Amino acid sequence: MTALESYIRQIETGKVTVGFWVSEWYLKTIKPIVDGKSAEYYFDPDASENYYRFVESFCVFTKNKNFIGNTIKYLDWQKAFFDCFFGIKKKSDDLRRFKEPVLIVATRNGKTEMTYPLPLFMIATTPGVDGACAATKLAQARILHDKCVQGIKMSDALNSYFFDHKDYPPIRILTKESTGMNSKFIPLAKDQSKDKSGWDGQEFYFAIIDELHAATYDMYGTLKERMTNYDDSFLLCMGTAGKLRGALFDDRRSYYKKIILGLIDNPTIMPVI
pLDDT of residue 108: 77
pLDDT of residue 78: 96
State which H helix or E strand residue 237 sits in: strand 234-240
Per-residue confidence band for 167, with pLDDT thresholds at 50, 70 and 90: low
Cα distances (Å, whole numbers) of residue 187 to 108, 119, 222: 22, 12, 15
**pLDDT of 179 strictly over 70:** yes
The count of C-alpha atoms lying within 13 angstroms of the C-alpha of 188, restricted to the half-sphere facing its C-beta, is 27
pLDDT of residue 139: 86
How many helices (H) and strands (E) in the chain? 11, 9
Share of the chain above pLDDT 70, in %: 91
Q: Tell me what the pLDDT averaged over the chain comes to.
A: 90
Q: Give the Cβ contact number of residue 36 at 10 Å.
A: 9
Considering only residues 28 and 164, tell me which one the structure prediction assigns the higher pLDDT: 28
- Torsion sign, CA atoms 135, 138, 140, 141: positive
Q: Give the Cβ contact number of residue 178 at 10 Å.
A: 8
**pLDDT of 195 strictly over 80:** no
pLDDT of residue 191: 60
Quick: pLDDT tens for 7-31.
999 999 999 999 999 999 999 999 9
* C-beta separation of 106 from 153 below 8 A: no
The overall longest dimension of the chain from CA atoms, in Å, is 55
Quick: pLDDT tens for 117-129.
999 999 999 999 9
d(CA 259, CA 264): 5
**pLDDT of 196 strictly over 50:** no
- Torsion sign, CA atoms 229, 220, 31, 82: positive
**pLDDT of 43 strictly over 90:** yes
Cβ partners under 8 Å of residue 166, min gap 6: none
Q: How far is CA 17 from the centre of its chain?
A: 23
Quick: pLDDT tens for 205-255.
999 998 888 888 888 998 888 887 889 999 999 988 666 666 888 899 999
